[in-house]
Amino acid sequence: MDGFPVTDVFRALDLTGVFANAVLGGVIARREKLDPVGFAVLAVLSGLGGGIIRDTLLQHGPPVALTDYSYLLTALAGAALTFVVRIEGLVWNKVWPVVDALALGCWAAAGAEKTLAVGLGWLPAVLLGTITAVGGGATRDVVLRRVPAVLGGNTLYATAAAVASGVLVIAFNAGHPTLGSLGALVVGTGICLLARWRGWILPGADAWSPAKVVPARLRPGGRGKQRNSSEHRKKGDTE
């Protein structure tokens, strides 16, 4: 995250998110019965993929994951831990969602702020803030030949990152980048956790189909169809 100042708190959250997502990559690698290289690859993709994609698209120097050794070493530490120790159980299930939500808010804010800092506008900032937060997991899923979980059927995640990025953009343009970073962190984390708790998901395509959204009596030909159906039933009753 070179190019703009980052507080110690945000750096700690950033590295914590890298470690937690690297551990998740390792957990998935164990489930897929991969070797140590597989553990390392999935951990790096999960923990650093979004930031690497962002920095590559920005083309302002090499990705921070390659210039600040703490990021890559943190991801590899997560891989090593999960290779040696089976990470699962009640504690992991309770801690992981909170750390993941904090990482999402932090990464969305960092990605959006870095994009604005290099001179791009609000829309690229929202886009790259979201990519920073969700890109690693999506890349990991593609490597495993899965449909990325972020594309649907799960609680709000990319949506939370996009909203958090938007909060950062508004505050940054108003001249309050630090307040915007904190606001983005709180908003992104809050939406992510609330969506998990309440089970909020975006509607699928079928949910918006005319057959479900518009009552039959209001659809074109609906009254005629109902009348014909009623007449057919009556005719069937008399036969």
pLDDT of residue 88: 79
Helix (H) or strand (E) holding 229: helix 222-238
Of 67-71, 91-95, 150-154, 208-212, which has the strongest mean pLDDT? 67-71
Q: What is the mean pLDDT of the chain?
A: 84
pLDDT digits (tens, 9 = 90+) for 16-38: 889 989 999 999 999 999 999 99
pLDDT reading at 180 higher than 60: yes
pLDDT reading at 71 higher than 80: yes
pLDDT reading at 237 higher than 50: no
99 Cβ contact list (under 8 Å, min separation 6): 16, 17, 20
pLDDT of residue 154: 86
pLDDT digits (tens, 9 = 90+) for 33-49: 999 999 999 999 999 99
Q: Tell me the average pLDDT across 47-59.
A: 93
**Alpha carbon 53 to chain centroid distance?**
14
Cα–Cα distance between 211 and 219 in angstroms, integer?
A: 8
Place of tokens 């990470």: 87
> Angle at the Cα of 19 (from 94 to 95), degrees rounded to 5?
5
Show the 3-state SS of 133-160. Answer: HHHHHHHHHHHCCCCCHHHCCCCCCHHH
Closest of 13, 14, 101 to residue 51, by C-alpha: 14
pLDDT digits (tens, 9 = 90+) for 182-201: 999 999 999 999 999 989 98
Q: pLDDT over 90 for what percent of the chain?
A: 55
Q: CB of 105 within 8 A of CB of 10?
A: no
pLDDT of residue 165: 96
Cα–Cα distance between 141 and 180 in angstroms, integer?
A: 31
pLDDT of residue 87: 84
**Alpha carbon 188 to chain centroid distance?**
10
Least confident of 69-83, 131-145, 207-221: 207-221
Helix (H/G/I), strand (E/B), else coil: 34: coil
pLDDT of residue 215: 58
- Supply φ then ψ for residue 219, to 5 degrees: -80, 150
pLDDT of residue 11: 81
Q: CB of 54 within 8 A of CB of 135?
A: yes
pLDDT digits (tens, 9 = 90+) for 200-210: 988 877 765 55
How does residue 225 score in pLDDT terms, banded at 50, 70 and 90?
very low
pLDDT reading at 13 higher than 90: no
* DSSP label of 205: G
